[in-house]
Amino acid sequence: MSKTIPWQKYNLKMEFDGYEVEAIITYWAKDYYIDIIKPCQKRISGEHMMYMIPAKFVIDDKKFTNKSTGHNIPILQKCKDKITKFLFNEWS
């Protein structure tokens, strides 16, 4: 059995206050974090889920088809909200 965590990356582009924002969401079933690339560089901590909880993080629940492994917790909108909150607090 492999002990390597299968981290995945999702490139995110969005707009905030007229600025183009680029970020990378790095995630696996039980953890995620966000690296803002543009307009500034910053790592935003995400969340951790206990291993015993029968659920996993997914980018978008609508695109995930295998629901037999438990509940899916979509994180895309939550990540966008965390980025927006950080940029609002940083630039206000």
pLDDT digits (tens, 9 = 90+) for 1-43: 567 778 999 999 999 988 899 999 999 999 999 999 999 999 9
Residue 20 falls within a domain, yes or no?
Answer: yes
Q: Residue 77: which pLDDT band, with cuts at 50, 70 and 90? A: very high
Model's pTM, two decimal places? 0.85
Count of domains forming the chain? 1
Do 32 and 75 form a contact (C-beta atoms < 8 A)?
Answer: yes
Within-domain flag for 3: no
In this prediction, residue 90 carries a pLDDT of: 86
* Residue 2 maps to a domain: no
68: left (phi over 0), alpha (psi -120 to 50) or beta: alpha
Residue 63 dihedral angles phi and psi, to the nearest 5°: -90, -10
For residue 7, the model assigns a pLDDT of 92
Residue 1 within a domain: no
Q: Examine residue 77 and state whether it is found in any structural domain, yes or no.
A: yes
Domain residues for the domain of 37 are 8-91
Asked if the structure places residue 66 within a domain, the reply is yes
